[in-house]
């Protein structure tokens, strides 16, 4: 049986982690809601505003609604991307 996935929560947590693939560093950008469901993830070679903006635009397009609050680390790219997208 497949369960119907619940609607995403009002609080989204955005984070990035560095991973190595074939000897090259990449960044895995993830968005998770407050229940722990992965809303979206992308793999980028860079950790900059353009990559953060790409994650936010994909996330907003997929979810169709804005969260009440987004929790991020202190990476300034998130703030710049949020100002451009929202």
Compute the distance between CA of residue 83 and CA of residue 60 in angstroms, rounded to an integer.
Answer: 14
pLDDT confidence of residue 64: 87
By C-alpha distance, which of 35, 42, 79, 76 is closest to 59? 42
| 1 belongs to a structural domain | no
57, part of any domain: yes
pLDDT band at 9 (very low <50, low <70, confident <90, very high): confident
Is residue 68 assigned to a domain? yes
pLDDT confidence tier of residue 5, bands split at 50, 70 and 90: low
Number of domains in the chain: 1
pTM for the structure as a whole: 0.83
For residue 28, the enclosing domain spans 12-85
**39 found inside a domain:** yes
Answer yes or no: is 6 within a domain. Answer: no
pLDDT in tens, 13-66: 999 999 999 999 999 999 999 888 999 999 999 999 999 999 999 999 998 888
In a domain, 5, yes or no: no
Based on its alpha-carbon atoms, the radius of gyration of the chain, rounded to whole angstroms, reads 13
């Amino acid at each position: 049986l497949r369960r119907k996935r619940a609607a995403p929560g009002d609080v989204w947590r955005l984070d990035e982690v560095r991973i190595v693939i074939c000897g090259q560093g990449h960044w895995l950008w993830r968005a998770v809601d407050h229940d722990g469901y992965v809303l979206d993830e992308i793999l980028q070679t860079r950790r900059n505003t353009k990559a953060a903006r790409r994650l936010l635009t994909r996330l907003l397009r997929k979810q169709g609604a804005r969260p009440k609050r987004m929790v991020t680390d202190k990476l300034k790219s998130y703030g710049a991307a949020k100002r451009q997208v929202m």
